[in-house]
Structure 1
């Protein structure tokens, strides 16, 4: 990473730490406007076409066992590029995809129209999302650095763990080595165990895929 890029990333993170000084509701409102602005044009980060993103998606899926999984959650789905991969990789699962930007979700709906009967798109932020069910498999990629300072990160980590069904799998994907900081509350929680970690250092933007499992057996494995 170049010095200019490193400085830009540090300024980016500082901005979101400042936002987290607001109440959770105020922080969520500003993030919603921020991401709606970014999504004024389709695929603002080229997730659907960028070779790096495609390689990261493939590496993420490769770290997760085949299942079966009844319920899958993707937190921070943007326009549904990875969501589409999920519905195709797990044709028997119901997939819930969450994003704070309604503009992004409208495009995500088009992308996953092939599986509309088993896909639910929800406009919400990580800290306030509520669910009727617990999930066998939860993904959170490139999202935790947006929640800001430590207490919000701790809250977000507890939220993700709380969304897991017994035996459920949590997958966190974030830049490396920043992932050490972003995943630390999950690592220290004692509520889940880390079962694997893949670190890609050869990419122009290194990343880590950390996989955790909650104790117990999922409903899917119990009936399989």
Structure 2
């Protein structure tokens, strides 16, 4: 068991209320939940970069840590699930210029800003929710960061976890980045994949973990 900072198990009251809200929303049918989440995030994105993902030191440190920990291998198809305005998605496109990179989010407002930034030809953005999203083919690198807690209760997390693993091509990687130790609960339903890396960043005001799992290769 990795060490936890003393305050890690004591979530601030705003975070607890935030989680309770989305747990209640997850009691809705999947389609209704998706509609409500789309409206919620479109409301947040009425102003550019509402969470300061492009400028905040903590967010930039988290991105840099994630990229540093990624296994060095060629990636041909990459997807960033819950990409917001595409700050990290653009970083991936720069880091892997030969890859086809896709950003997916429920907020069309956020994606409009992501598309407005200068980008190379093989970077695209799609408006969809994770549970109903059905792309043409799988990906050899799948990212999901700061997203799963919006899904709420167990059954909806189970569905989201199944969709994430279905997005990963045989032998491909699933990279998850979420607050620690909450990540332990959020990843309960991730199955059928082999953990190859688990890093917890505790020297920060909001500890987070980077977890990389690998799908089984094609049997020969």
- TM score, norm. by length of structure 2: 0.93
Q: Secondary structure at the match of 2:189?
A: helix
From 182, 185, 188, the counterpart of 1:181: 185
Q: Which residue of 2 aligns with 1:124?
A: 128
Q: Which residue of 1 aligns with 2:3?
A: none
From 99, 110, 125, the counterpart of 1:104: 110
Q: Secondary structure at the match of 2:12?
A: helix
Q: Secondary structure at the match of 1:138?
A: strand
Quote the offset at 1:66 in angstroms.
2.6
Quote the offset at 1:181 in angstroms.
0.3
Whether 2:80 is the aligned partner of 1:74: answer yes
Q: Secondary structure at the match of 1:84?
A: helix
Whether 2:119 is the aligned partner of 1:114: answer yes
From 53, 56, 63, the counterpart of 1:57: 63
Question: Could you tell me how far apart the structure 1 residues matched to 2:9 and 2:156 are?
Answer: 28
Quote the offset at 1:5 in angstroms.
6.6
Q: Secondary structure at the match of 2:119?
A: helix
Unmatched 5+ stretches in structure 2 = 1-6
**Structure 1 or 2: larger helix share?**
1
Q: CA RMSD in A?
A: 1.6
CA gap 1:55/1:90 in 2 versus in 1, 3 angstroms: same
Question: Could you tell me how far apart the structure 2 residues matched to 1:51 and 1:96 are?
Answer: 25
Deviation track 1:41-99 (CA, whole Å, cap 9, x = no partner) reads 00000000000000000111112123211100000000011011100000100001000
Q: Which residue of 2 aligns with 1:192?
A: 193
Question: Could you tell me how far apart the structure 2 residues matched to 1:40 and 1:3 are?
Answer: 33
Question: Could you tell me how far apart the structure 1 residues matched to 2:119 and 2:184 are?
Answer: 37
- Runs of 4+ more than 3 Å apart: 1-5
- Bigger drift between 66-75 and 47-56 goes to 66-75
Whether 2:153 is the aligned partner of 1:152: answer no
- TM score, norm. by length of structure 1: 0.92
Q: Which residue of 2 aligns with 1:35?
A: 41
Whether 2:17 is the aligned partner of 1:11: answer yes
CA gap 1:16/1:216 in 2 versus in 1, 3 angstroms: same
Question: Could you tell me how far apart the structure 1 residues matched to 2:125 and 2:214 are?
Answer: 24
CA gap 1:194/1:3 in 2 versus in 1, 3 angstroms: closer
Q: Which residue of 2 aligns with 1:221?
A: none
